[in-house]
Chains A and B, each alone.
Chain A
Amino acid sequence: MNIRLLLLLLLAAIPLETMARIKLITLPVRERVEIQLDSAQATLVEEERIVPLIKGVNQVDFSWANTRIDSDSILFRMLPAQSGSEVDAKVLSVSYPPNENALVWSVGADRSGSARVRISYLLGGLDRSFHYRAVATKDESSLRLAQYLRLKNHSNESYAQSRLWVGFGDQLQRPVGLNETKDLLLKHYDQVQVQKRYSVDVNEYGYIQAAKKKLKVPMHYVLKNDAAHGLGQVALPFGKVRIFQQDGKGSTTFVGEDWGRFTPRDDEMELYLGVARDIVVKRTIERRERNKISGNLYDYDVVVKYEVENFKEKPVMLDIREQLPKLRAELGLTNRRDVQWKLGRDTTLPAGPDPEKSDADRLLFHVDLTPQNSSGKVQKQVYKLHLVLQNEWR
């Protein structure tokens, strides 16, 4: 134990500099420890100790050799007595000896007795992170999501029984040993509705066969952090998600892992599982017409064509995304102005852009793909996005 609290049995008049000679000390033990992990910036440790005080001035020595305590953060707070025999004690001053990780509190007490104190400090080397384990059902319609806290203790200090709190959920009571890494189950969500999302975005995901203009079609699990989808109680912290799938034979198969970004409530956590090979999307720019308005001012008539084939045996939804400044650059038009656009009448994509996920720079369309028929024949679905890029000039 590198962190020590000593009560020095001194006469009040003995000055601090003579302390090294004092051998008679008491060691108030930790009655309770709370480790507050709710801040992403720092870990706050709170130790509760019962300190016997004598009437008058008491010297309480606190030292933290070989640990990374932020000495500016150390607080000494008197707590209300539980037994009712309360000593009125106050910190009079704090002295910091040279070249030592230590301090000495001068504590004045109105009478002799025990005082319940809480010592708080920010401790480096005691770090937390989060990770998840997801087990999807065989039909991938839902999953069981377990959320874990990973605690790495390189602080050079151990805590026998400490209460851990991450800012949400219940407190956990566990010992934290030296140089230990602990994974602690925080919460599990049993019925999380999951959406399999197939999407194409030439700028974000690129091509799987560039020469043939065939796009990469990544597949994501999408977990919406709301009550309707079995979540929504708190924001989901950043962390790695390991994904397994039930194989229908009582076991599970590991199907991939991804970093889950910090997901506020009502937002979606997208987990990349790999590229779907049985959905083929060919994207070509079918039309690029320049229409002069005046001088060097033009409108551009652009049609992007998507030829989609679903070799799966079941229908799926495909998300088609376009980033308009990148599309304009692809057409050979480069300037720093925003893109002014409107949908043209030759658009054949069903419905309009998703209003929640589309804006001035991004368009998202959802397309239902029909599966191959019973004879194995695949229907090629052709969709066109007709855009008029307006008021462009070099």
Chain B
Amino acid sequence: MNYPRHIIALLFVLLGCSGIASGNNLDLSTVPDRERVQLTIYNSEDLTLVRETRLVSFKKGMNPLQFSWANTLIDPTSVELEFRGQAGRLEVLDTTFPHAKPQMLYWNVRSEENVEVRIEISYFTSGISWAGDYVAISNPEETTLRMEGFVRVSNRSGEPYANAQVRLVVGKINLVEKIAELARMPVARVQAMEKREYTKLRQKVARKMMAPAVAMEGLVVMDMEESAVPKQVEKEGLGEYFIYTIEGRESIPDGWSKRLRSFDAARVPLKVVYRYRKGEYGDRLVRLYLLQNDKKSGLGITPIPNGKVQIFRHNGREGLSYLASQSIKYVPIGDRIELNLGVDPEVVFELIKERVSRDNIWIRLNKGRVYKRVGDGSFIVDHKGAVAGWDERQQFNQRIRNYTGQKILVEIRRSYPGDVTFRSRLDANSHDYRSVEYTSEVAVGGRVDLRHEVITRSGYNAKQQQVKVVGG
């Protein structure tokens, strides 16, 4: 499981000033080592911006530099070379992508004198990703829970990164091309498909992110020995995004993943609610944990990125009960977090249709017909007609039985299409023009019968497309 030899290589090619296209078969090269590496990983896209520094000695005159990235997922159009210090005395005269070697380039650097310079090479690669995941464990009474957030960085880029500063970008950036697709193409094809917009957008987006970053030279380098206390993950806002910076340095060999704790909120206040909302949770009553991504809860420092949550409850015997796992979407600071635990078999939820009647029936009359009986000559006038409008009255009983060990709060929201009046003595409200919501508490071992009438005006009687809530 040793790191493979670095696949990305920078060679200082000792050739004559005639440049790299000399056709010589024998080259003499030196390999300047990586000094520092910084990875900025965008989880919304398969994109990582890598910045690495190396110390290189340049002689006066022309200096060919070869950079190659065989079997990696680097976007060749994104590779850039910059000089740290010695401003103006070094200059990249040209960049050449040799036809025969698709994952390689040469820079011709002109130096005004013999000098040792720290260079910075940056490029985009795919194959490095990060994802958030969470573990939520409630106390036995379900009044608080401990919520731990983690970030898992996975390296499938083909290149090991040792001792790298790792930064994770929370938010969705705009990209016009997929890096992985670009990496597999010869550079000529990539350049042929390049558009001004492509370069402008993608380079702008990711490099702009880097602009306010701490310069790598300024970083405090940790000792190689791992600290015995958990690393901190610093969070800072940056425009529409958040950047998580993992304390110190991480080594992530190719193929490996590493998971670090991002936050740990020990006592997040928790509210248990039962909800019926067919559109959101399906045609069933579900049990929810509701919490808030705010400072009062010990959270609220950053938005919570998309991720999977494993939900457990302490069973009071040092053990856990598994409740559910679900994916959550990005939760902004201050917003509510909903953890859906599914149906609780200890709560019985039944909608009983008790009675139906129709009234206010209107008949559309057509032309009448007259019938005469043979014999006595009596007449009958029969007006032909058809029902054109009516009111349908449905009396419902929403029955809830609670066999849990705690009093429960139930929130019900139902939608009614058409021109509807919702009549009840419940404390019901309109949620929107076609939905009604009401709540009820159910005591331990208790049963409630929430009776209500739904009057639907149909056919000719229907004048609106909304539900009206009335008492009585």
Contact = CB atoms under 8 A, between A and B. Distances in A.
A167 B363 CA distance: 60
Contact of B1 (A20, A38, A266, A267): A20
B107 to A, nearest CB: 32
B172 to A, nearest CB: 23
B258 interface: yes
B87 interface: no
A98 B230 CA distance: 24
A360 B394 contact: yes
A218 interface: no
Interface string A89-130: 011111111110000001011100000001010100000000
Interface stretch (A72-80, A150-158, A188-196, A364-372): A72-80
B461 to A, nearest CB: 13
A12 B229 CA distance: 13
B226 A92 contact: yes
B349 to A, nearest CB: 10
B315 interface: yes
Given A12-B226, A34-B319, A295 B386 contact: yes
Given A16-B1, A90-B230, A36 B315 contact: yes
Contacts of A79: 318
A42 interface: yes
Contacts of A13: 224-226
Interface string B152-184: 101000000000000000000000000000000
B290 interface: no
Task: Give the bracket for the number of chain A residues in contact with chain B.
Answer: 35 or more
Given A19-B1, A235-B403, A99 B346 contact: no
A350 interface: no
Nearest to B352: A359
A106 B226 contact: yes
A10 to B, nearest CB: 11
Given A12-B225, A38-B321, A79-B318, A390 B358 contact: yes
A262 B355 contact: no
Majority secondary structure of chain A interface residues (helix, strand, loop or mixed): mixed
B81 interface: no
A95 B318 CA distance: 26
B330 interface: no
Given A96-B258, A296-B385, A340-B357, A44 B226 contact: no
Contacts of B227: 57, 92, 108
Majority secondary structure of chain B interface residues (helix, strand, loop or mixed): strand
A393 B386 CA distance: 8
B384 interface: yes
A304 interface: no
B390 A235 contact: no
B348 to A, nearest CB: 5
Contacts of A110: 228
B383 interface: yes
B255 A295 contact: no
A359 B395 CA distance: 10
Nearest to B225: A13
B221 interface: no
A46 B320 contact: yes
B322 interface: yes
Contacts of A36: 315, 319-322
B354 A39 contact: no
B353 A297 contact: no
A26 B394 CA distance: 70
Contact of B386 (A16, A296, A338): A296
Nearest to A109: B228
A92 B385 contact: no
A225 to B, nearest CB: 10
A93 B228 CA distance: 11
A265 interface: yes
A16 B364 CA distance: 84
B308 A72 contact: yes
B354 A41 contact: no
Contacts of A17: 1-3, 253, 256
A18 B2 contact: yes
Given A39-B322, A266-B401, A297-B387, A96 B226 contact: no
B310 interface: yes
B135 interface: yes
Nearest to B264: A90
A118 B152 CA distance: 22
Interface string B120-161: 000000000000010100000000000000001010000000
Contacts of B387: 295-297, 393
A95 B258 contact: yes
Nearest to A116: B318
A391 B231 contact: no
B251 interface: yes
Given A90-B229, A295-B363, A297-B361, A72 B403 contact: no
B127 to A, nearest CB: 12
A95 B1 contact: no
B154 to A, nearest CB: 8
B1 A18 contact: yes
Interface string A43-80: 01010000000011100000000000000110100010
B17 interface: no
A344 interface: no
Interface in A134-193: 165, 167
Interface string A258-272: 000010111100000
A95 B256 contact: yes
B257 interface: yes
Given A39-B322, A393-B386, A72 B310 contact: yes
What are the 7 A-B residue pairs with the smallest beta carbon separation, nearest first? A295-B385, A98-B255, A108-B228, A17-B1, A96-B257, A338-B356, A295-B363
Given A55-B228, A296-B363, A360-B354, 14 more contacts: A15-B251, A42-B322, A57-B225, A72-B325, A92-B226, A92-B230, A93-B259, A94-B260, A108-B227, A110-B228, A235-B345, A264-B346, A360-B353, A360-B356
Interface of B: 1-3, 133, 135, 152, 154, 224-231, 251, 253-261, 308, 310, 312, 315, 317-325, 342, 345-346, 348, 352-358, 361, 363-365, 383-387, 390, 392, 394-395, 401, 403
12 contacts: A36-B319, A72-B133, A92-B230, A93-B261, A94-B259, A96-B154, A96-B258, A262-B345, A338-B356, A339-B356, A390-B357, A393-B387
